[in-house]
Amino acid sequence: MTDAPSIDALLAVMARLRDKDTGCPWDIAQDFATIAPYTVEEAYEVADAIRRGPEPAMLMDELGDLLLQTVYHARMAEERGWFRFEDVAAAITAKMIRRHPHVFGEADSATATEDLWEQRKDAERAARAETGVLAGIATGLPALTRAAKITRRAARVGFDWPDAAAVLDKLEEEATELRAELPRADRARLADEVGDLLFVLANLARKLDLDPETCLDGANRKFERRFGAVEASLAAEGLTPADATLDAMEEAWREAKRQGL
């Protein structure tokens, strides 16, 4: 097996792991539903490796973990007689050629636009009998990403705010509606209004040509940095956040901001 091409070796490893007589009990017990969360997790770990900076070994390792997920799903499909890994590779190869006619086909390179890509995707959805402007948007996407995709698709047919300023107006409207619900403390109503607020925020990011998930991730990381500085500042005084007053933590937070953290 060591002399075989790398992908063949990986396929052989997965076949051995899934062998009902000699394989790994854990791997044998898995199915598409139980493996799907790992697939999502590995995709995020690839993104995290890229975000951390140029560490080729780490990126290679994470890409290998992600590739394993494709091999895993393909092996389970092959066991059911649906398709093999080779079929997956052939299908994506054909799709990429089909969606790039400016490279592989009749179209001119000047037509290489997002609209052309979406037109090809529209044709593929139609062939699968998926109808409607919003057809085919994966429900498993992170909610902020899906919100941006939903309204980007709607915007293609003219259903959109005219500019980012108009989205900000809508954001203020939704914030007012949420504030009006606070005294009632009805959890269902509050969840509905918070959802509306997040949906509009995702669209504000889209109108500014920003990725909402990336924006929120940046805010998360900034909070972690600053709160870490708060903890360090309190520790220098022999305190923990649980021991400190809110005023003390706020002052440490403001100092962290002044330091550019």
Q: What is the pLDDT of residues 26-55, one digit of tens each?
A: 999 999 999 999 999 999 899 889 988 879
pLDDT of residue 226: 96
pTM: 0.67
pLDDT of residue 134: 86
Q: Both tokens of residue 54?
A: 């140029």
Q: How far is CA 12 from CA 6, 85, 118, in A?
A: 10, 11, 37
Q: How many residues does the chain have?
A: 261
The rounded distance, in Å, linking the Cα atoms of 163 and 155 is: 12
Summarised one tens digit per residue, pLDDT across range 81-91 is 999 999 999 99
Q: What DSSP state is assigned to residue 4? A: S
The rounded distance, in Å, linking the Cα atoms of 129 and 122 is: 10
pLDDT of residue 136: 79
Q: How far is CA 51 from CA 44, 128, 227, in A?
A: 10, 36, 21
Alpha helices in 135-242 (DSSP H): 143-155, 164-181, 187-207, 212-235
pLDDT of residue 112: 57
Contact 167, 207 (CB under 8 A): yes
pLDDT of residue 137: 84
pLDDT of residue 115: 64
Distance from the Cα of residue 86 to its chain's centroid = 26
pLDDT of residue 138: 83
The C-alpha angle with vertex 206 and arms to 204 and 211, in degrees rounded to 5, equals 110
Report residues of the chain scoring pLDDT below 50.
1
Among 72, 81, 3, which Cα is nearest to 34's?
72
pLDDT of residue 124: 67
Contact 123, 115 (CB under 8 A): no
